[in-house]
């Protein structure tokens, strides 16, 4: 069958048209990429050195390490927050030094920290080291916050760089003297002190209050912070037939003194301040510890606003229990960091101006300072030795603590067990709630506060 040529041509043309219509057109070229804005430059990094000084060797090493641990925990937590201060990402570094609880070594260490260009100092632990070191820090314009030095002279020197986060011995000595004469009906009281800035200072304040309460001071003796044999002193005291024996000093002497009093048949109860108010006292005194009294600046640890949580954090971090002042050292470091944040500067001269304005919710209390740099509303808690622990008697003074925070954190170990023991905070003495025994102090005790 034949088709006309014209018809065939039309069919071919139609097929070609249909093929062309069905073919996809090539995609349009992509639009030119918009230029991306350059990434912001990384924030500058800044290392901020914070000094810490306490006895890390000798009979008070267990207390010194406790303080250092408290400050270290605060710094590690601050670093985890990746803080920005003054436009820089800040990393804090703790420079720990051993002042051996010795005043001369204290000034040597202070100069070492100044030369290392630290931005502030937490410490010292003892009043005897804190006071001479404070002059060097003042001359260098370096803020200093002591977590445990309680001698009033520290903040009475007029140094604008000196602060402390616990009650002082004017308060503590008066409370002890009043309690001895009023609640314990002491009429004839003997006093012994270790001649350190702390021991003699708190004994002097006690004597004033005891005399004002109508007691007679039948003996005023002294020893030193390295003694362990008190037979001569205590024999002399025995002849005076005192109702009570007040000791101004540390646990390394208070424990053996209690033993020797019992051996001599002296029935009088001892009373002392925070330097002896530790679990080490029980360890050193043994069964002779029973019935004696002590005081600690602050509330029992389990009554502090963040006490329980801090105990858990401390234990989890260091696998040891709190000895005494760790919560105060923790608060002291946090107060310093808070002042830097508020000043938006880590320069000592700039954040120093913010420290007097502090209103900080610490684990120990709400911390504010008076015109001297002393913590306001400092409380004193009294304890009695019962069954190998310190049992809380009463708290005198201070603002009521805020409701306890949940014990969520786990990091430096505090006094998680034995809530009956003191965990309050104290001037070189410690925390009133359950301080657990530390390693026994070395033979020759060092100076306390």
**What whole-number distance in Å separates Cα of residue 166 and Cα of residue 401?**
14
Please compute the mean of the pLDDT values over residues 255-279 and round it to a whole number: 95
Whole-number Cα distances in Å, 439 to 7, 165, 279, 413: 115, 26, 10, 15
pLDDT of residue 401: 56
pLDDT of residue 349: 96
245 three-class SS = strand
Please compute the mean of the pLDDT values over residues 12-37 and round it to a whole number: 61
Q: Is the pLDDT of residue 426 over 90?
A: no
Please compute the mean of the pLDDT values over residues 395-399 and round it to a whole number: 79
pLDDT in tens, 405-416: 443 333 333 332
pLDDT of residue 195: 93
**What whole-number distance in Å separates Cα of residue 190 and Cα of residue 232?**
14
For the chain, the average pLDDT equals 85
Name, in order, each residue with C-beta under 8 angstroms of 288's C-beta and a sequence gap of 6 or more: 258, 259, 261, 262
**What whole-number distance in Å separates Cα of residue 181 and Cα of residue 162?**
34
Place of tokens 């101004």: 248
Domain covering 45-167+328-367 in this structure, CATH number: 3.40.50.2300
pLDDT of residue 379: 86
Whole-number Cα distances in Å, 157 to 160, 167, 313, 332, 426: 9, 17, 36, 20, 21
Q: Is the pLDDT of residue 177 over 60?
A: yes
pLDDT of residue 23: 55
341: closest CA among 83, 44, 79? 83
Residue 132: exposure state from Cβ atoms within 10 A (0-12, 13-18, ≥19): middle
Quote the pTM value. 0.78
pLDDT tier for residue 302 given thresholds of 50, 70 and 90: confident
pLDDT of residue 438: 34
Range list of β-strands (E), 118-256: 120-123, 144-146, 162-164, 188-193, 216-222, 244-248
Whole-number Cα distances in Å, 180 to 143, 171, 268, 308, 425: 37, 14, 12, 31, 21
Q: Quote helix, strand, coil % in the chain, to nearest 5.
A: 40, 20, 40
pLDDT in tens, 66-85: 999 999 999 999 999 999 99
**What whole-number distance in Å separates Cα of residue 191 and Cα of residue 84?**
52
Of the chain, the percentage scoring pLDDT greater than 70 comes to 83
Whole-number Cα distances in Å, 368 to 313, 350, 380: 24, 19, 17
324 in Cβ contact with 301 (< 8 Å): no
pLDDT tier for residue 442 given thresholds of 50, 70 and 90: very low
Give one DSSP letter per residue of 361-402, joined into a string.
E-SSSEE-B-TTSPBTT--EEEEEEETTEEEEEEEESSPPPP
pLDDT of residue 59: 83
89 in Cβ contact with 79 (< 8 Å): no
More confident residue, 317 or 444: 317
Cα radius of gyration (the chain) = 33
Helix axes 169-182, 197-212, angle to 10 degrees: 40
Q: Is the pLDDT of residue 214 over 90?
A: yes
pLDDT in tens, 348-358: 999 999 999 99
62 in Cβ contact with 107 (< 8 Å): no
How many CB atoms are located within 10 Å of the residue 86 CB?
A: 15
Place of tokens 């445990």: 148
Helix axes 326-343, 307-318, angle to 10 degrees: 100
pLDDT of residue 403: 55
pLDDT of residue 27: 74
Q: Is the pLDDT of residue 148 over 60?
A: yes
pLDDT of residue 399: 62
pLDDT tier for residue 427 given thresholds of 50, 70 and 90: very low
pLDDT in tens, 84-122: 999 999 999 999 999 999 999 999 999 999 999 999 999
Phi, psi (degrees; rounded to nearest 5) at 60? -105, 15
The domain spans of the chain are 45-167+328-367
């Amino acid at each position: 069958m034949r088709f006309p040529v014209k018809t065939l041509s039309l069919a071919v043309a139609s097929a070609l048209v249909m093929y062309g219509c069905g073919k996809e057109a090539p995609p349009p070229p992509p639009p030119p990429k918009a230029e991306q804005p350059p990434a912001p430059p990384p924030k500058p990094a800044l290392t901020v050195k914070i000094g810490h000084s306490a006895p890390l060797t000798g009979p008070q090493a267990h207390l010194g390490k406790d303080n250092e641990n408290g400050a270290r925990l605060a710094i590690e937590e601050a670093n985890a927050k990746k803080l920005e201060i003054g436009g820089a990402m800040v990393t804090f570094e703790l420079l720990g030094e051993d002042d051996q609880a010795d005043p001369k070594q204290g000034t040597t260490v202070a100069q070492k920290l100044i030369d290392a260009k630290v931005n502030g100092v937490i410490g010292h632990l003892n009043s005897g080291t804190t006071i001479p070191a404070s002059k060097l820090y003042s001359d260098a314009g370096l803020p200093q916050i002591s977590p445990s030095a309680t001698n009033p002279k520290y903040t009475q020197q007029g140094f604008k760089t000196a602060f402390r986060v616990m009650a002082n011995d004017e308060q503590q000595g008066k409370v002890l003297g009043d309690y001895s004469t009023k609640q314990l009906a002491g009429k004839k009281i003997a006093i012994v002190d270790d001649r350190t800035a702390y021991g003699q200072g708190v004994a002097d304040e006690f004597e004033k209050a005891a005399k004002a309460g109508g007691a007679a001071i039948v003996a005023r003796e002294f020893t030193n912070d390295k003694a362990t044999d008190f037979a001569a002193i205590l024999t002399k005291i025995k002849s005076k037939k005192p109702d009570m024996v007040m000791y101004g000093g540390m646990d390394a002497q208070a424990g053996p003194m209690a033993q020797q009093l019992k051996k001599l048949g002296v029935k009088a109860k001892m009373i002392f301040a925070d330097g002896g108010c530790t679990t080490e006292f029980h360890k050193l005194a043994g069964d002779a510890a029973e019935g004696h009294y002590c005081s600690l600046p602050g509330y029992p640890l389990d009554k502090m606003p963040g006490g329980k949580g801090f105990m858990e954090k401390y234990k989890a971090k260091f696998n040891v229990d709190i000895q005494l002042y760790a919560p105060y050292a923790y608060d002291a470091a946090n107060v310093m960091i808070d002042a830097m944040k508020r000043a938006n500067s880590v320069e000592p001269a700039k954040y120093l101006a913010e420290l007097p304005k502090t209103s900080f919710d610490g684990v120990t209390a709400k911390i504010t300072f008076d015109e001297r740099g002393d913590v306001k509303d400092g409380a004193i808690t009294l304890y009695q030795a019962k069954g190998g622990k310190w049992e809380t008697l009463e708290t005198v003074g201070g603002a009521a603590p805020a409701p306890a925070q949940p014990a969520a954190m786990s990091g430096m170990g505090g006094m998680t067990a034995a809530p009956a023991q003191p965990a309050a905070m104290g001037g070189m003495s410690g925390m009133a709630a359950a301080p657990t025994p530390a390693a026994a102090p070395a033979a020759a005790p060092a100076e306390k506060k």
